[in-house]
Amino acid sequence: MSKSSIANPIRQVPRGSSLPQHVAVIMDGNGRWATQRRLPRIAGHSKGVKRVRELVSACGDKGIKYLTLFAFSSENWRRPKLEVKSLIELFVSALDEELKKLHENNIKFRVIGHIDRFGKDAVRRIKNAEALTRDNERLVLTIAANYGGRWDIAQACAELARRAQEGKIEADAITPEMIEASLSMHDAPDPDLFIRTGGEQRVSNFLLWQLAYTELYFAPILWPDFDRSQFDLALDSYTARQRRFGLTGEQIEATRQA
């Protein structure tokens, strides 16, 4: 399904495979998981990294092409300094540990978000990992780090405004497709399935633009407990749904039979 399908809802109806092509996840509940065990919150984040590994390999096995994970939101800077520092360290060390395996498994790694704030060293490691894996094709693993959906839309608007100022585009001719092309996820299809663990039923400034027609699934499970069987439940829920994109159920049935 290409990005240009935005103007034609019939073309957005997924065909063939009933599995999602793109899964986006808010991995929530690490802190509560640790607190329930009288452990420091960072212990929950460490356990969470193990679940990330599991989910990445499950997606690879199932042939899911895009996995996008919310690791750190632009609002998470408001947390205690020590937790923020530990989260960044955990992210960078997990990347160092996993990079070889990601590459061997033909996984393309990339990060979306305003990463400069993580410091020069972290940025260098992230860029190295992206460069090493850029031609891999089995699965695109995107980590949203210091990411916010509103930030993303604002930076897309700023880019279009610059181009309008330079006389390259007409302000009145700006279309949703042009905004989309300037967003961080411009080269991926919109998520088919959104999963949030932890029990909260909100989007928390994740992929605001791209979630317009995504199927939402809220798991009453803390992220460190989200294993393969929990992922299968989410996939079962997804495959049982009819996606309509504004059409009627009958129209969808007709396109399936055509």
By CB under 6 A, residue 86 contacts ligand IPE:
no
One-letter amino acid identity for 7?
Answer: A
76 labelled catalytic: yes
Q: Which of residues 186-215 bind ligand IPE (CB under 6 A)?
A: 198, 200, 202, 204
Per CB under 6 A, 72 contacts ligand IPE: yes
With binding defined as CB under 5 A, does residue 28 bind Mg ion? yes
Residue 74 and residue 147 in contact, taking contact as beta carbons nearer than 8 Å: yes
Looking up tokens 């992230």 gives: 126
Contact 180, 103 (CB under 8 A): no
The amino acid at residue 81 is: K
Report, in Å, the least distance between residue 66 CB and ligand IPE.
18
Query: In angstroms, how far is CA 89 from the centroid of its own chain?
Result: 21
46 binds ligand IPE (CB under 6 A): no
**DSSP per position, 103-157:** HHTTEEEEEES-GGGG-HHHHHHHHHHHHHHTT--SEEEEEEEEE-HHHHHHHHH
**Block residue for tokens 């996984």:** 107
- 28 is known as an active-site residue: yes
Side chain identity, residue 151: W
Q: Which does 76 bind (CB under 5 to 8 A by kind): Mg ion, ligand IPE, none?
A: ligand IPE
With CB under 6 A as the contact rule, which of the stretches 5-13, 21-29, 186-194, 245-253 interacts with ligand IPE? 21-29
Binds ligand IPE by CB under 6 A, chosen from 5, 46, 76, 105: 76
The active-site residue out of 8, 28, 116, 236 is 28
Residues that bind Mg ion (CB under 5 A): 28
Residues of this chain that bind ligand IPE (CB under 6 A): 26-32, 70-73, 76, 87, 198, 200, 202, 204
